[in-house]
């Protein structure tokens, strides 16, 4: 077993920082006296870590989890481009079972961290909308793929740049995305045309909205249709972000500033 111990030692040798992904309190305590800087990446800072990156989604894919943590660490100043990082995570059990070494900056930024940190809407609202889109992407409607468009934030301006396609079932309601019952409603209404408009705080302002900003100058990849074009245009002309579930390829894409900044495969989450 000495060869295995030597291999693990090589992986963690001379790293610039250690990233603990959703650690237990006891594991975090073991690192408190470490001379190597420690960063906790988790949905909440339950261990009261000095250096912390909030994880909005529990990515099942370890590579995506690490990518988000590294992006957050770079943006928050916990590490620098080129730093060597030991990532300690749980994959198959409730205990730590994986150690990975990565170099910050070795991969292109996915945009997921920017989506949560630099958007006008509350991060929890964006997370809830993504979860609805991902869940819908996994299950569809009655076994069939569906498409959906959620516009989040800057709702007043978005409403002024759109028109109703039908009766708005949320006109006099005060329901918010994230409520399990409301999420079921969103999935059901996604079968119909139009976008959902959601406020910064998560209130569902409207369904069945036709977005009217000009798509001139919006550049989206070939093969993507009207929903993606509308998402690009509305996020270019307002401070909203948009989340699109593609009916054609089943992917979830997020737009900000007229551009795609995040692309997720629902089957990986």
Question: What pLDDT sits at residue 255?
Answer: 94
| 163-179: pLDDT as tens digits | 999 889 898 888 999 89
- What is the DSSP code string of 29-89? HHHTT-SS-EEEEESS-TT--SSEEE-SS--SSHHHHHHHHHHHHHHTTSS-TT-EEEEEE
**In the structure, what pLDDT confidence band is assigned to residue 149 with cuts at 50, 70 and 90?**
very high
Question: What pLDDT sits at residue 1?
Answer: 59
Long-range contacts of 92-97 (CB under 8 A, 24+ apart): 96/23, 96/27
- Is the CB of residue 162 less than 8 Å from the CB of residue 242? no
Q: What are phi and psi of 196, to 5 degrees?
A: -90, 135
Choice between 109 and 29, residue whose per-residue pLDDT is larger: 29
Strands (E) in the chain, as ranges, are: 17-21, 38-42, 52-54, 84-89, 98-103, 148-152, 162-164, 195-198, 204-211, 241-245, 252-256, 259-264
Which of 87, 108, 129 delimits the end of a domain?
108
Examine the domain organization and report whether 94 and 121 are in the same domain. Answer: no
Question: What pLDDT sits at residue 32?
Answer: 87
Q: Is pLDDT above 90 for 129?
A: yes
Burial 25-50 (b: 16+ CB within 10 A, else e): eebbeebeeeeebbbbbbeeeebebe
- Is the CB of residue 260 less than 8 Å from the CB of residue 119? no
Half-sphere exposure of 228 (CA within 13 A, CB side): 22
Residues 10-20, mean pLDDT to the nearest whole number:
90
**In the structure, what pLDDT confidence band is assigned to residue 143 with cuts at 50, 70 and 90?**
low
Cα–Cα distance for residue pair 62/59, rounded to 1 Å: 7
The CATH number given to whatever domain includes residue 67 is: 3.40.1380.20
Which of 108, 123, 153 delimits the end of a domain?
108
**Secondary structure of residue 92 in the 3-state scheme:** coil
**Secondary structure of residue 125 in the 3-state scheme:** helix
Q: Is pLDDT above 80 for 269?
A: no
Residues 224-243, mean pLDDT to the nearest whole number:
94
Examine the domain organization and report whether 127 and 239 are in the same domain. Answer: yes
Residues 223-240, mean pLDDT to the nearest whole number:
93
Examine the domain organization and report whether 51 and 176 are in the same domain. Answer: no
Residues 79-103, mean pLDDT to the nearest whole number:
90
Examine the domain organization and report whether 151 and 263 are in the same domain. Answer: yes
Which of 40, 75, 108 delimits the end of a domain?
108
Examine the domain organization and report whether 69 and 192 are in the same domain. Answer: no
Examine the domain organization and report whether 123 and 143 are in the same domain. Answer: yes
Domain that holds residue 69: 2-108
Q: Is pLDDT above 90 for 183?
A: no
**Average pLDDT value over all residues in the chain:** 88
Give 100's DSSP letter: E
Residues 133-147, mean pLDDT to the nearest whole number:
78
Examine the domain organization and report whether 32 and 165 are in the same domain. Answer: no
Q: Is pLDDT above 70 for 141?
A: no
| 95-120: pLDDT as tens digits | 788 999 999 988 766 677 778 877 88
Q: Is pLDDT above 90 for 124?
A: no
Examine the domain organization and report whether 94 and 167 are in the same domain. Answer: no
Examine the domain organization and report whether 94 and 175 are in the same domain. Answer: no
Examine the domain organization and report whether 12 and 134 are in the same domain. Answer: no
Examine the domain organization and report whether 96 and 214 are in the same domain. Answer: no
Question: What pLDDT sits at residue 234?
Answer: 96
Cα–Cα distance for residue pair 22/40, rounded to 1 Å: 7
Q: Is pLDDT above 80 for 60?
A: no
Both structure tokens of 163? 């028109």
Q: Is pLDDT above 90 for 9?
A: no
Looking at the chain, the whole-number percentage of residues with pLDDT higher than 90 is 48
Examine the domain organization and report whether 149 and 68 are in the same domain. Answer: no
Q: Is pLDDT above 80 for 92?
A: yes
Question: What pLDDT sits at residue 113?
Answer: 79
Domain count, the chain: 2
Cα–Cα distance for residue pair 213/237, rounded to 1 Å: 7
Question: What pLDDT sits at residue 232?
Answer: 94
For tokens 């989604």, name the residue.
Answer: 57
- Is the CB of residue 196 less than 8 Å from the CB of residue 150? yes
C-alpha distances in Å from residue 56, one per residue of 22, 183, 205, 229: 12, 18, 23, 26
């Amino acid at each position: 077993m000495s060869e295995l111990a030597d291999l693990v030692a090589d992986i963690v040798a001379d790293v610039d920082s250690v990233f603990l992904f959703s650690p237990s309190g006891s594991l975090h305590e073991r690192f408190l006296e470490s001379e190597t800087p420690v960063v906790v990446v988790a949905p909440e800072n339950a261990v009261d870590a000095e250096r912390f990156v909030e994880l909005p989604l529990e990515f099942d894919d370890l590579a995506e989890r690490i990518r988000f943590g590294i992006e957050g660490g770079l943006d928050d100043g916990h590490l620098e481009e080129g730093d060597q990082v030991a990532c300690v995570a749980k994959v198959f059990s409730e205990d730590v079972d994986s150690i990975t070494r990565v170099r910050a900056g070795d991969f292109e930024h996915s945009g997921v961290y920017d989506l949560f940190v630099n958007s006008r809407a509350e991060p929890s609202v964006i997370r809830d909308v993504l979860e609805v889109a991902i869940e819908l992407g996994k299950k569809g409607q009655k076994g069939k793929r569906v498409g959906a468009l959620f516009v989040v934030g800057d709702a007043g301006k978005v409403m002024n740049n759109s028109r109703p396609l039908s009766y708005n079932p949320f006109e006099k309601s005060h329901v918010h995305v994230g409520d399990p019952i409301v999420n079921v409603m969103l999935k059901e209404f996604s079968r119909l045309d139009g976008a959902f408009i959601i406020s910064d705080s998560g209130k569902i302002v409207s369904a069945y909205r036709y977005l009217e900003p000009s798509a001139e100058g919006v550049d989206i990849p070939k093969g993507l249709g009207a929903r993606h074009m509308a998402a690009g245009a509305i996020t270019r002309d307002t401070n909203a972000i948009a989340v699109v579930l593609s009916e054609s390829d089943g992917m979830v894409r997020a737009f900000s500033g007229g551009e795609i900044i995040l692309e997720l495969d629902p089957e990986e989450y």
